[in-house]
Amino acid sequence: MSETAKEEKAGLAAFKTLKPYFFRYRLPYILGFLCLLIVDGAQAILPQFIRAAVDIVSAGNFLWTRVLYICLAMLGVMAAIALGRFLWRYFIHGSSRRIETELRGDLFRHLLSLSYDFYQKNKIGDLMARSISDLNAVRNALGWGIVTLVDGTIMAASILVIIIIQDPQTALYCIAPLPLITVVMLFFGRAMGRRFRRAHETYSVMSDAVQETFAGIRVIKSFVKEWWFIKKFEQANDAYRGANMSLVKLYGFFFPFVSFLAGLTTVILLLTGGRRVVLGYLSAGELVALFSYLQMLIWPLMGAGFMVNMIQRGAAGMARINEALFAEASIRSPALPLRGKNDAPAIELRSLTFAYPPSGENKQGVPVLDGISLVVERGTTLGILGRTGSGKSTLIKALVRMIDPPAGSVFVKGVDVRDYDLGELRMIFAVSPQDAYLFSDTIKNNIAYGKKDSGADPAPAELVNAALLSALDRDLEGFAHGWETFIGERGLTLSGGQKQRVAIARALLSAGEILILDDAFSAVDAETEKRVLGNVLTERAGKTTIIISHRVSTLSSADKVLTLERGRVSEYGSPRELLSAGNFFARTAELQRLGDASVLSGGGAARV
């Protein structure tokens, strides 16, 4: 995206997204502005009390009761100001907080609705920065930014009208420097917008560096690469500092300049107003009142700087939020979804060919799956074998429509996967992947996530059965808190095999019609694998199961085995048929048999 396009997006037009939120909270905002008007009106009256008191005292021979009445009236006005300030803060800042909460919730829900490829293009740290830092900037713009805009405009206009009515000649001299502030604000507003955008982007890079570092802390420590990641973070941190220093330099010049112009108006008042008092055109009280008004005018002038700061920062943040909020899912449910047929095959592939978009090494968009045709009948167990990169995982993604296969190429229960409601399609499957992702929660809750009934907790018997089937029951006995054992982020406290078996238990609890075990035993020993696989196939007798594995022994209990090479079907048949054919499946079986025999005889240890 070009810098010009970014600047346009970072403009005030970015706030158009907030129209529905403003409409919902229009009443609190209106009440807040009314309270703000009352406060500004009351503040504009105070110098008049001071003028009257000074004129009374300077005249001599006055009664203290007259001054006392003025003081009491001022106390009443100041009480009204205090109450009004509380109320406008409650209404306006309260509304900005509520809008922030709703917008963050809507953003989170939208992010969860996006397709898998969105997260391949966008880093998690950047999305977190948009959900936290950018939204904070938007909230400040909706709160303090709007307040300073409205308050500053009303106060400045009111004060200018009052001082011009009171003494036009003196007022015109005093406000002569003010147009310069308008010119400076226009210039600085544009420059700040660009710099705020850069600051937000560098914060995202730094946030992503931190998230990636802590997520991979095991690898970092095992390779003793802390120094490298410290260096990487320092670079991101320095870039963030540099972007903010660019803002500080610009911002640091703006406020002293505005303060200088504000001070200049005071000097002009002392020269012109003092002379007019000596000549008798102004009273001492009127001069003091004018001085008070000019002091009050400093806030709108300074507030203009705050307003530009917060509005520009909020616009930059809102533009980045809009990029995520308006991102469209590349894979969506059809307008009129169909439902599966109970008398059709569980899975049918018809000349399935798929290529990822050109990128990296795959610059030509070479097909990852090439002309695959296959029928998996209900209640059968299909095994899939293939080298790394042969297309096994891509095939599974096509079945659950994590990627979009060509129309008419993938059918589940007799219906094209593109004609299913996405939620209904994915509920047909229960998937246990190789890289089992566990949440920072208890073992019980990590398994319970598999329950597909919305809001329904699994019965204790269901949890126990899932643990027994996945051979997790003996591990639970060794945990200090059993089911309530907290496993940490990504299952940090569990071994690789334990994580995989928790994921298997989660998949079994979902009771999906088609179970997919995607290399789900890669970190499990042979004995445990045999036990779990036996339990699963016995429990799921009459249901469809797909087992992906690099171990031939794992696939020996399958009804049919599919072998893939470079995205094409190289063999298909029963394990017995493929062993007798003497091709890839048989050669792999022989190599693994020899490897196991070598380990048992001690040869494996000698090679190591």
DSSP assignment of 130-197: IIIIIHHHHHHIIIIIHHHHHHHHHHHHHHHHHHHHH-HHHHHHHTTTHHHHHHHHHHHHHHHHHHHH
How confident is the chain (608 residues) per 10-residue block, as mean pLDDT? 45 85 94 94 89 82 82 92 94 94 93 87 84 89 89 86 85 78 69 76 84 78 82 90 86 76 80 83 84 81 73 86 91 92 93 82 73 94 91 92 93 95 92 84 87 72 90 84 82 82 90 89 86 90 91 91 93 93 89 67 40
The model's pTM is 0.77
Same domain, 398 and 467: yes
Is 312 contained in some domain?
yes
Residue 1 has what pLDDT?
44
Is 335 contained in some domain?
no
Residue given tokens 């994921």 in the structure block: 503
Is 341 contained in some domain?
no
Same domain, 235 and 365: no
Please, what's the b/e burial string for 421-447 (b: 16 or more CB within 10 A of its CB; e: otherwise)? ebeebbebbbbbbbebebeeebbbbbb
Residue 597 has what pLDDT?
57
Is 339 contained in some domain?
no
Same domain, 101 and 247: yes
Q: Two tokens at 118?
A: 């969105």
Rounded-to-integer distance, Cα 41 and Cα 161, Å: 13
> 194 Cβ partners below 8 Å, 6+ apart?
3, 7, 10
User: Whole domain around residue 111: which residue ranges?
Assistant: 3-325
Same domain, 215 and 291: yes
Same domain, 307 and 355: no
Same domain, 491 and 540: yes
Give the CB-side neighbour count of residue 28, counting CA atoms within 13 A: 19
Residue 608 has what pLDDT?
26
Same domain, 314 and 359: no
The CATH number given to whatever domain includes residue 91 is: 1.20.1560.10
Q: What angle do CA 443, 446, 447 make, to 5 degrees?
A: 90
Same domain, 233 and 362: no
> 454 Cβ partners below 8 Å, 6+ apart?
none
Please choose, from the candidates 434, 437, 425, 362, the residue with its C-alpha nearest in 3D space to the C-alpha of residue 398: 425
Q: Which amino acid is at 585?
A: F
Domains of the chain: total: 2
Q: List 420's β-bridge partners, or say none.
A: 338
Size (the chain), residues: 608
Residue 337 has what pLDDT?
93
DSSP state of 40: H
Residue 155 has what pLDDT?
87
Same domain, 59 and 199: yes
Same domain, 304 and 351: no
Domain boundary residue among 295, 325, 355? Answer: 325
Is 334 contained in some domain?
no
Q: What angle do CA 25, 28, 32 make, to 5 degrees?
A: 135
Residue 3 has what pLDDT?
47
| Three-state DSSP state, 10 | coil
